[in-house]
Chains A and B, each alone.
Chain A
Amino acid sequence: MRIYALHLAVVAALFAVQFALPAYHYGNVTRIMLYAVFAIGYNILFGYTGLLSLGHALFFAAGAYGAGLTAHWWSFGPVAALGAGVGAALLVSLVTGLIVYRTTGVAFLIVTLMLAQAAFLSTLYFNTVTLGDQGIVLSLPPVELFGAALHLADPAVKYNASLVAFAVALLLSLWLLRSPFGRVLIAIRENEARTRLLGYNTALYRFAALVISGTLSGLAGALYCLLFGYVGSSFASLQYSTLPLLWTLLGGTGVTLGPPLGTAITHYLIDISSGLTSSYMIIVGVALVAITLWFPEGLAGWFRRWRRVRS
């Protein structure tokens, strides 16, 4: 129960801190929480199951385009568009899961990369629908909740909607990790052949992990699109496939709080260094190499090991 209390404390702290944050950091934390949902989704596949994907932009973009296109072309309201975005990500995850059903290791990495690149090029090719690189700027009606009209452009609405998504993703991820299903995923990560020998249909578990991971990533994409009112082909680019990998590695794979921590550090590292120089990616790169060298298990992973050794 202590571990659930810790996670709930993190959520409570994020709720409380909104009343003290300056406007600039308010927006930053909002983005970090949304990206953290993406990272948490990625961690289910990479951190728990041990499958390295280089194509998670596919799911993020599926969610973003599912929400953005339905809102733009069919005038879906924010809630319906969110449902469409998550539904699109679920569908894309299911199809991708079937395509990569038997693949692991390098083959999995290559197939996911290729599928994401195909999706990226599709967003450019079908530019009459997606508006390509330029993207779609959304103008959405407010959401009616308990008689109140919530405007998505309102920073407080953005913050709290992101917080709800973050809390759901974090607690779901923790519950999943500690469930029998999660234990099997960890067993697969440790040794898939050994797990199969115990009688588990490991391909089916991998498939389920990918669908959950992809759908959570799609939720992040759909919310990002709706809360910031934009979707463009950059959401499907390679950068959005490498970022969650970076966040997860930095924060700690297989640790529920690791990816959100990695997301926050990376976000602020880029934010601060880009204010110092236009070559900020060099600073970011050096800092990340240093952290990877000294904390190969990620920061949260290092902290967990330090506590174990201490106890």
Chain B
Amino acid sequence: MFVGVLALQGAFIEHERRVAELGATPFEIRELRDLSKPFDALILPGGESTVQGKLLRELGLFEPLREKIVSGLPVLGTCAGLILLAKSICAESTVHFAALDVTVERNAYGRQLGSFHAQAPLLGGAEIPLSFIRAPKITKLGNGVEPLVVLDGVPVAVRQKNIIAAAFHPELDEDRSFHQLFLDTAAQAQ
């Protein structure tokens, strides 16, 4: 399985490593010509959503990727990736792919001093480690959005059809189960 990893800015190498460990083949998307290869799934990594959103548009990647996402390409977004996917962003007029029916609040836990680690079960099963780095919070779920991980009553990872998104960074911790879930979902879509 070929997994395109958006490599404009942020922690994309960590996702590539994880995807490769699980037997899929990652490749980096940095400019339009990188989209000429076919791929089966897409990862939008953590980083700064303002930077990624701007570069996506200026490098001409935004429309082609949006079309792929809305037409059902399996996609995983973490942290900034969640913000890029969200239909609505608190206190901001600019939204990006707007393909996932949630509202998010950027930097909802405050500055770096508010960053934290936690643990919670994935889909009611085993607990997985969660690293929140200047993380966004999902404040509203639309119809058909299923929570995958809930921490203190707040959904921190969700799924809607072909889209999986998390406010935390599964690529930073050793546990592989979140990426495994994504790759399984992508394999079913094939």
A is bound by B = no
